[in-house]
Structure 1
Amino acid sequence: MSQTATLLVIDDEPQIRKFLRISLASQGYKVLEAENGTQGLAQAALGKPDLVVLDLGLPDMDGQQVLRELRQWSTVPVMVLSVRASEVQKVDALDAGANDYVTKPFGIQEFLARVRALLRQVPQRGSAPACVSIGPLTVDLALRRVTLEDADVTLTRKEYALLAQLASHPGRVITQQQLLKDIWGPTHVGDTHYLRIVVGHLRQKLGDDPMAPRFIATEAGVGYRLLAPVQ
């Protein structure tokens, strides 16, 4: 990738952001900045960066949470840049979808080399849309906002996680086992009643009739599908 790439730096320390902005700009990169996780997710959706540099110690949410939410709708390469140096923290970040992990303090030349290496990587699959609309239903994955007829819909954490999974792959069937593994964990892949309950509650809140669905279709014995968005 050429050095006209756009990088997003999510870090609450102004001096770190300034240092990285100057260093990256000197190499020809365009730099976007965010001082917290909420801003970072919004910038990631709107600015469409080629690489995200993410601090874990953010004021509004942990960087691990930012990474998990980002991975619901984007495959952009992510470099974690953090003072947290424990092996557990590194493994957690990499398992959550980080592509690289650099601990502070760091050498700028090594950092730039790692940036170049990540920018050379080609994503194995395209990014899911950051915002999906199906008739009156809109799921904004970047802002974690669901609206129906322009009114906010209040969902539980599990209900939102389920809808976000389906919205990340509109029109595609997501198996029961995959949904249970991703939302409840690998030890619950057989607990299909959990899934039925949450789907039922979600349908009630969306006013979706399972016999004539507008939004969520059941593929009997297989899984669920968010009906393809209207073009």
Structure 2
Amino acid sequence: MSSSLQHQARGPEVKYRILLLEDDQQLASLILQFLVERQCSVYHAANGNDFMKAIHHRHYDLIISDVVLPDASGFKLLDQFRRQINCPLIFLSALSSVEDQVTGLRLGANDYLVKPVDPHLLWAKIEASLRAHRTLPPADPSICFGPLTIDLVTRQAKVRDNELPLTSTEFDLLHIFAEQPTRLLSREYLFRRMVGREFDGQDRVIDVRISRLRKKLDAVCYGVGDGVVIHSIRGRGYSLNATSGID
């Protein structure tokens, strides 16, 4: 049975949005209470299946993950979803061997804490990981998908040599699509990434922004052969795909 649950921070301000992957309900409750008291909005996933849904539909500032789960391995999940995880990740596990800790860090985790852990130490590690993440430059200053190139430093996008005249919000939207090309992204996920709050089921701002971005992509890609296009699947979401044409 799924036990995913969103726990909102008290008050109007949310400091961090955190995904907690932990199957021990008692421990999860203690961590949740501690983080919510510190103005965090926490989404709790108790197994790998819930984690996969959470990664697809929401954006997080940080992930705390157990390693041993009832239906998956935290190590394998991190390796599988490395491209979708664009935030710091901390492993919190009862596995205490040096080998396990080295494995977690080599997979790309920002830290590895052994249970039981003092919650104040966990909080210090969370803030340290987020500070380091904010100061790091992009690992690669550009993203390429087919004929599309996105420069993350200059914030310019091109299809072949044709520059896309994008607004700041349109660039951010295209960046999200280019991070996960061909993957179907739900309206809820895009709304959360772009607007910064949960989708209420009514707001059409994402549809409007995608429509404008599509028109600009179509204008630049028309007649150049290979291009990129945003496909939509009714009721499910959108995806960025490469197209082939004749010069």
TM-score range, shorter chain: 0.5 to 0.7
| Residues 1:76 and 2:73 aligned together | no
Structure 2: segments with no counterpart, 5+ residues: 1-12, 139-151, 153-174, 187-224, 229-239
The two structures, once aligned, show a CA RMSD in angstroms of 3.1
The ranges of structure 1 where at least 4 consecutive aligned residues each deviate by more than 2 angstroms after the TM superposition are 72-75, 123-133, 139-142, 212-215, 226-230
Aligned to 1:124: 137
- Counterpart AA for 1:68: D
**Does the CA contact (< 8 Å) of 2:22 and 2:47 recur in 1?**
yes
Aligned to 2:233: none
| Residues 1:11 and 2:22 aligned together | yes
Q: Which moved more, 1:14-23 or 1:40-49?
A: 40-49
| Residues 1:62 and 2:111 aligned together | no
Count residues in correspondence: 145
Q: How does 1:73-222 map to 2 (within 5 A)?
A: 73-120=84-131, 121-122=133-134, 124-125=137-138, 129=177, 131-133=180-182, 139-140=183-184
When normalised by structure 2's length, the TM-score is: 0.52
**Does the CA contact (< 8 Å) of 2:48 and 2:69 recur in 1?**
yes
Aligned to 2:54: 43
SS at match of 2:86: coil
- Cα distance, 1:124–1:60 mapped onto 2, change above 3 Å: farther
SS at match of 1:8: strand
**Does the CA contact (< 8 Å) of 1:4 and 1:29 recur in 2?**
yes
Counterpart among 30, 50, 54 of residue 41 in structure 2: 30
Compute the displacement of 1:214 (Å). 9.3
- 2:80 and 2:51 mapped to 1: Cα distance? 11
- Counterpart AA for 1:64: F
When normalised by structure 1's length, the TM-score is: 0.55
Structure 1: segments with no counterpart, 5+ residues: 134-138, 143-211, 216-225
- Counterpart AA for 1:97: G
- 2:110 and 2:243 mapped to 1: Cα distance? 31
Q: Percent identity?
A: 26
- 2:108 and 2:49 mapped to 1: Cα distance? 18
